[in-house]
């Protein structure tokens, strides 16, 4: 019976409202007092049933809730035959609960939208060579799947055939399509706008990026911040205090109606709901825009950040070296490039891969007598010529003369953060290349936005040499930059900043960043980084989109501000209601309940504004 009553709470509210309306309409038209009072009494008893049950269930676990205040107020109103007040109060309380339920469901819409995006079936390649539709749960790692235009990608995987453009909004928050070809990575829940793809499944079921996003957001929305925990404790003691005040008012005034009205007006409903709805809406809004906040606690810490520390490689820079500048000496450039490509093809060094990518498709020659000079480069016989490829030390060893002009060019490249790759053929310098890890596109705008949002210090830490680090720092205008740092050095630096009173966020993507991510007030991981970094962090930027960082900080600040606004609304309304009761004649129980329910709706709607949060465009100079 109890479950039936509680499940039917919304229906009871509707019936109570109809009885209330019928009572007043009948009174204004027919003037029958008996029908008027009878309808109000039935509405009061019906309405108070679910409220009293909730109060009873809470009392069984030794918790005094708002429901008890309302139950006592309604029973008191019935006892003094104030049937209008009792019926109106129960209806408004139940109707307010219905509105709260509906609006809270909307704040969780991000989760619902994400779940609805999850694919349910996949086209799997069978042993007969044909593709057949199967449930996505039946897909295993290594299976080949077919994705057609307009279909959802069922798992995380790699394209093995075909081309197309994919809408990755469910993962990155960006609606612009991303071109995919053989070797490209695709994610579950994204949509193939056009083309046809064959993909090899790599992560299936709960291991997909999409499933992890849903899991992280659900966990975050279920967590509680320090403000929420404080308000929970506050409400636990506040409700008995209001009961005590009501009793004191009755003992002093012997006015039962006044005491009952105190119970109604003192309900802290808006205070209890205001902070959670802000957090839930903020976390949901972040999830829809490629930012995962791992809990409500993160919002408060992130909103106060004054120092952001970045790892360099893979965070501020792309993470893979590429040729930035090339200088040629001598006439036959094509032949020199052939010699260089022939030697570099034999190496698996990252610099060699960058050089080969820059050269592209050229004819190569057989390589013989290869000699690797540790820390310097490679010397080999190519097409009957002696070819040396490496740094300046190798050129000196091979007695290759470098003119003052070449030395100046090399010094300039090194100052700009390049690693040098020199190529000499038969003792004569032919090519000078500067290879460096390129800065991510848009990083300058990201840093400018962070400064606009109140971040005072932007610091970079890296294991690279100080010259390279300084070059990146100069280009980006960072507050400070430190090179030659091991993971333990980075962690110690974070400790030092915290010890100096800074609120620190650390942004990184690798295993070596995990200690710093864990130590910082807010650890921010690039979503494309290692699993360890993602697990250790407090905030995840999906698909390694650094441009989402200012949005994340702006949203955290907006959420913290929204919480303060909701607390102000909730406390302000209670104080105004109680003051009106004491110092005016117009305040009544039903008016107080109407204002009280209005305040609950106000804080919910205020919180929901976060679902439409957009960071203002960057204008003017940073």
DSSP of 133-169, one letter per residue?
EEEGGG--TT-EEEE-TTPBP-SEEEEEEEEEEEE-H
pLDDT beyond 50 at 620 = no
Pairing verdict, β 131-135 and 156-167: unpaired
pLDDT at 268: 65
Nearest to 498 by CA among 259, 265, 309: 309
Pair 326, 432 in one domain = yes
- Provide the percentage of residues in the chain whose pLDDT is more than 90: 16
370 and 380 Cβ atoms separated by less than 8 Å: yes
What is the per-residue pLDDT for 531? 56
Name residue, tokens 């022939």.
342
Tens of pLDDT, residues 20-55: 888 888 878 877 788 888 888 898 888 888 888 888
Number of domains observed in the structure of the chain: 3
Query: Residues 322, 355: contact at Cβ < 8 Å?
Result: no
Give which of 540, 530, 557 is closest to 613, Cα–Cα: 557
What radius of gyration, in Å, describes the C-alpha atoms of the chain?
A: 34
Residue 303 lies in a domain: no
> If we measure between CA atoms, which residue out of 66, 79, 566 comes closest to residue 266?
66
Q: Model pTM?
A: 0.63
Closest C-alpha to 509, from 494, 520, 523: 523
pLDDT for 114 beyond 80 = no
CATH number of the domain within which 407 lies: 3.40.1110.10
Supply the pLDDT for residue 572.
86
Q: Are residues 43 and 147 in the same domain?
A: no
Choosing from 438, 470, 489, the residue where a domain stops is 438
Region 344-371: what's the mean pLDDT? 85
- Angstrom distance (rounded) from CA 74 to CA 240: 17
375 and 242: one domain?
A: no
Pair (325, 405) in one structural domain: yes
Q: Is the pLDDT of residue 120 over 50?
A: yes
Read off the pLDDT of residues 372-417 as tens digits, 9 standing for 90 and up: 887 678 899 998 899 999 888 889 899 889 999 999 998 888 877 7
Q: Give the pLDDT of residue 220.
A: 45
What mean pLDDT value characterizes the chain?
Answer: 80
Of 400, 421, 438, the position where a domain reaches its end is 438
For 440, phi and psi rounded to 5 degrees? Answer: -60, 140
Band of residue 226 on the pLDDT scale cut at 50, 70, 90: low
Q: Which pLDDT score, from 0 to 100, does residue 622 have?
A: 40
Over residues 198-227, the mean pLDDT reads 66
Q: Any idea what the Cα angle at residue 523 is, between residues 517 and 524, rounded to 5°?
A: 115
- HSE at residue 580, side-chain half, CA atoms within 13 A, is 16
Asked if residue 471 belongs to a domain, the reply is: no
Residue 394 region, left (φ>0) first, then alpha (ψ -120 to 50), else beta? alpha
Both 234 and 333 in a single domain? no
Tokens linked to 121: 């079936």
Place of tokens 């976060």: 610
Residues in the chain: 622
Least confident of 130-144, 222-236, 277-291: 222-236
In this predicted model, which residue has the larger pLDDT, 43 or 348?
43
* 3-state SS, residue 330: coil
**Would you state the pLDDT for residue 267?**
67
Query: Is the CB of residue 136 less than 8 Å from the CB of residue 121?
Result: yes
Same domain? 10 vs 95: yes
Residues 6+ apart with CB under 8 A from 232: 224, 272
Helix (H) or strand (E) holding 520: none
Q: Confidence band (pLDDT; 50, 70, 90) for 431?
A: very high
Of 408, 438, 468, the last residue of a domain is 438
Q: Are residues 209 and 224 in the same domain?
A: no
38 domain-assigned: yes
Q: Is the pLDDT of residue 109 over 60?
A: no
Q: For residues 1 and 185, what is the distance between their CA atoms, to the nearest angstrom?
A: 54
- pLDDT for the residue numbered 297: 75
Question: Catalytic residue numbers?
Answer: 311
528 belongs to a structural domain: no
Q: Is the pLDDT of residue 465 over 50?
A: yes
Q: Which pLDDT score is estimated for 219?
A: 55
The answer, yes or no, to whether residue 491 has pLDDT greater than 60, is yes
299 or 429: which leads in pLDDT: 429
Give a yes or no: residue 241 inside a domain: yes
Q: Half-sphere exposure of 94 toward its Cβ, with a 13 Å CA cutoff? A: 33
**Mean pLDDT of the region 138-149:** 90
With CA atoms as reference, report the closest residue to 197 among 166, 236, 169.
166
Say yes or no to pLDDT of 497 above 90.
Answer: yes
100 & 144 share domain: no
Q: Are residues 18 and 33 in the same domain?
A: yes
Say which residues have a Cβ less than 8 Å from residue 547's Cβ, sequence separation at least 6. 442, 445, 446
Q: Is 441 helix (H, G, I), strand (E, B) or coil?
A: coil
* Helix, strand, coil share of the chain (percent; to 5): 55, 20, 25
pLDDT tens-place string over residues 509-559? 755 577 788 788 888 887 665 454 566 678 888 777 888 899 999 999 999
Residue 125 belongs to a domain: yes
DSSP 123: E
Say if 519 falls within a structural domain.
no
Same domain, 337 and 398: yes
Residue 301 region by backbone torsions, left for phi larger than 0, else alpha for psi between -120 and 50, else beta: alpha
Same domain assignment for residues 265 and 391: no
Bridging pattern class, strands 377-382 and 385-390: antiparallel
Q: Which residue has the tokens 């003369």?
A: 401
pLDDT band for 105, please (50, 70, 90 cuts).
Answer: low
Other Cβ atoms within 10 Å of 61 Cβ, number = 6
Residues 122, 126: Cα–Cα separation, whole Å: 12
pLDDT for the residue 110: 47
Report pLDDT for 233.
67
Give dist(CA 59, CA 53) in Å, integer.
10
Lowest mean pLDDT segment, chosen from 60-64, 360-364, 437-441: 60-64
Higher pLDDT, 608 or 337: 337
CATH number for the domain that contains residue 135: 2.70.150.10
Q: What is the DSSP string of 561-619?
A: HHHHHHHHHHHHHHHHHHHHHHH-SS--HHHHHHHHHHHHHHHHHHHHGGGG--PPPP-
Do 353 and 423 reside in the same domain of the chain?
yes
Q: Range of 64's domain?
A: 2-108+220-278+561-611
Q: Given pLDDT bands bounded at 50, 70 and 90, which one contains residue 340?
A: very high
């Amino acid at each position: 019976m109890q479950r039936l009553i509680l499940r039917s709470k919304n229906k009871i509210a509707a019936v109570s409202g109809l009885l209330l309306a019928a009572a007043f309409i009948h009174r204004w038209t027919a003037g029958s007092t008996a029908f008027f009072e009878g309808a109000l009494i039935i509405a009061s008893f019906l309405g108070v049933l679910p409220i009293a049950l909730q109060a009873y269930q809470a009392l069984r676990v030794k918790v005094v809730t708002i429901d008890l205040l309302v139950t006592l107020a309604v029973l008191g109103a019935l006892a003094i035959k104030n049937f209008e007040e009792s019926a109106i109060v129960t209806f408004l309380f139940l109707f307010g609960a219905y509105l709260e339920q509906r609006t809270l469901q909307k704040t969780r819409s991000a989760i619902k939208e994400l779940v609805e995006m999850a694919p349910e079936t996949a086209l799997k390649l069978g042993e007969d060579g044909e593709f057949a539709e199967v449930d996505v749960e039946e897909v295993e790692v290594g299976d080949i799947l077919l994705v057609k235009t307009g279909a959802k990608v069922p798992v995380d995987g790699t394209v093995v055939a075909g081309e197309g453009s994919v809408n990755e909004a469910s993962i990155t928050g960006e609606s612009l399509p991303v071109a995919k070809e053989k070797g490209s990575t695709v994610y579950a829940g994204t949509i193939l706008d056009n083309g046809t793809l064959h993909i090899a499944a790599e992560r299936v079921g709960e291991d997909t990026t999409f499933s992890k996003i849903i899991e992280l957001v659900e966990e975050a929305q279920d967590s509680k911040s320090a403000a929420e925990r404080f308000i929970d404790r506050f409400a636990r003691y506040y409700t008995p205090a209001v009961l005590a005040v009501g009793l004191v008012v009755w003992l002093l005034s012997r006015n039962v109606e006044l005491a009952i009205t105190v119970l109604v007006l003192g309900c802290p409903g808006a205070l209890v709901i205001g902070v959670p709805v802000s957090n839930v809406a903020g976390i949901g809004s972040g999830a829809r825009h490629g930012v995962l906040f791992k809990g409500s606690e993160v919002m408060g810490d992130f909103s106060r950040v004054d120092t952001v520390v970045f790892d360099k490689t893979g965070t501020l820079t792309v993470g893979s070296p590429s040729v930035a500048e090339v200088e040629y000496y001598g006439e036959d450039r094509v032949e020199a490039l052939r010699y260089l490509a022939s030697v570099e093809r034999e190496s698996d060094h990252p610099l060699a891969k960058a050089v080969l990518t820059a050269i592209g498709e050229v004819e190569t020659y057989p390589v013989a007598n290869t000699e690797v000079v540790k820390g310097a480069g490679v010397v080999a016989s190519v097409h009957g010529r002696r070819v040396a490829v490496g740094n300046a030390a190798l050129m000196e060893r091979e007695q290759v003369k470098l003119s003052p002009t070449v030395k100046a060019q090399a010094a300039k490249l090194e100052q700009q953060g390049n690693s040098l790759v020199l190529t000499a053929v038969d003792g004569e310098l032919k090519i000078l290349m500067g290879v460096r890890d390129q800065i991510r596109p848009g990083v300058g705008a990201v840093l400018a936005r962070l400064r606009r949002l109140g971040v005072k210090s932007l610091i970079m830490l890296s294991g690279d040499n100080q010259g390279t680090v300084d070059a990146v720092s100069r280009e980006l205008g960072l507050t400070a930059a430190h090179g030659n740092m091991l993971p333990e050095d980075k962690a110690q630096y974070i400790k030092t900043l915290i010890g100096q009173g800074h609120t620190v966020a650390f942004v990184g993507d690798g295993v070596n960043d995990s200690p710093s991510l864990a130590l910082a007030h807010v650890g921010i991981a690039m979503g494309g980084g290692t699993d360890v970094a993602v697990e250790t962090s407090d905030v995840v930027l999906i698909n390694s989109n650094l441009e989402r960082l200012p949005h994340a900080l702006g949203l955290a600040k907006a959420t913290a501000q929204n919480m303060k606004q909701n607390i102000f609304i909730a406390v302000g309304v209670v104080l105004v209601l109680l003051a009106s009761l004491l110092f005016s004649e117009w305040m009544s129980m039903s008016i107080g309940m109407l204002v009280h329910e209005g305040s609950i709706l106000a804080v919910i709607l205020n919180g929901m504004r976060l679902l439409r949060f957009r960071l203002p465009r960057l204008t003017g100079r940073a």
